[in-house]
């Protein structure tokens, strides 16, 4: 009896926190989880009806139903609406270029970090992950001071380079985790059959790491598309992205069109999560 009892006590110590077995405890836990979920989701839920408010005032509940602000966003009318679509298109172009650049650099950096063993590896990895730790405002100021002599202020290319600074670490982490998740003997087998390093990397490593590469590219795209602080310092007046225009609009004028922009961004995020779920399923 002593051995089973010892194993039972050891298992109880390893389990740690146990879920409540009583119906009252489960109901309380479910209520707490529901309140937390409601607190997180409610600000997004009220954004959608506000976007259909017919009057030029941000209020909830809305006084009626109208597509007036969607028409303004899509430049059906005149005035401010003519600026939203160009800003959205610029944000999409910048985000796509950032995703491509960050995916290439981040994936190439992830391979030696996941595969090679060399002196100073931890120091290099820590240095490459610094953009995730340093406050964005510090990075934005540094990028601004760097761009002044290079005359990159107000340039879409400058925004792409700035956004890549914070997007590359995400790609690197995801791709490195993917590379560590599959057996290296597959690459060794390809090399033993006569494949060189380049061919092994292109025909074996890249296909196996494809889900991680696609997930990193999606994270880089979303990071760039939603980024504001670097755009505030770098965009100037010639390259105004959608988050930058939304920020300027909130400062000068508040109307339900900001709810329209928020709703469309939320739909884009939901699409991003759906694509990420598909990629993760392919990865498994």
Domain boundaries of the chain, sorted by first residue: 45-80+256-284, 92-252
Model pTM score: 0.74
Dist CA 66 CA 50 (whole Å): 10
Instruction: Give, in order, the Cα–Cα distances in Å from 54 to each of 64, 67, 74, 266.
Output: 6, 8, 16, 21
User: Over the stretch 111-122, which tens digit does the pLDDT of each residue have?
Assistant: 877 776 777 777
Give pLDDT, residue 24.
74
Low pLDDT (below 50) residues in the chain: 1-2, 7-9, 11-16, 77, 79-80
Dist CA 153 CA 236 (whole Å): 6
User: Over the stretch 122-161, which tens digit does the pLDDT of each residue have?
Assistant: 788 888 888 888 888 888 898 989 888 888 888 889 899 9
DSSP-assigned states of every residue in 164-180: HHHHHHHHHHHHHHHHH
Dist CA 88 CA 94 (whole Å): 10
- Cβ 237 vs Cβ 228: under 8 Å: no
CATH of domain 92-252: 1.10.3720.10
């Amino acid at each position: 009896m002593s051995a089973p009892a010892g194993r039972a006590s050891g298992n109880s110590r390893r389990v740690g926190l146990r879920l409540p077995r009583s119906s009252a405890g489960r109901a309380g836990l479910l209520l707490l989880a529901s309140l937390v979920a409601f607190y997180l989701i409610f600000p997004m839920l009220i954004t959608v009806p506000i976007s259909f408010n017919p009057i030029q005032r941000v209020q909830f509940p809305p006084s009626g139903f109208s597509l007036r602000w969607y028409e303004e966003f899509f430049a059906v009318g005149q005035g401010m609406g003519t600026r939203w679509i160009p800003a959205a298109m610029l944000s999409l172009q910048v985000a796509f270029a950032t995703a491509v650049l960050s995916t290439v650099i981040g994936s190439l950096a992830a391979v030696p970090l996941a595969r090679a063993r060399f002196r100073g590896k931890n120091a290099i990895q820590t240095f490459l992950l610094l953009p995730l730790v340093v406050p964005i405002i510090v990075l934005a100021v540094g990028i601004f001071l760097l761009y002044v002599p290079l005359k990159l202020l107000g340039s879409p290319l400058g925004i792409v380079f700035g956004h890549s600074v914070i997007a590359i670490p995400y790609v690197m982490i995801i791709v490195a985790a993917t590379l560590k998740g599959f057996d290296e003997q597959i690459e060794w087998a390809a090399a033993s059959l006569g494949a060189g390093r380049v061919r092994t990397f292109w025909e074996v490593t890249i296909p196996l790491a494809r889900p991680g590469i696609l997930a990193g590219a999606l994270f880089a795209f979303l990071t760039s598309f939603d980024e504001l602080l670097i755009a505030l310092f770098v965009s100037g007046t010639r390259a105004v992205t959608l988050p930058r225009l939304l920020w300027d609009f909130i400062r000068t004028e508040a109307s339900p069109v900001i709810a329209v922009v928020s709703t469309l961004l939320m739909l884009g995020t939901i699409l991003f999560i759906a694509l990420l779920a598909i990629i993760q399923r392919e990865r498994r």
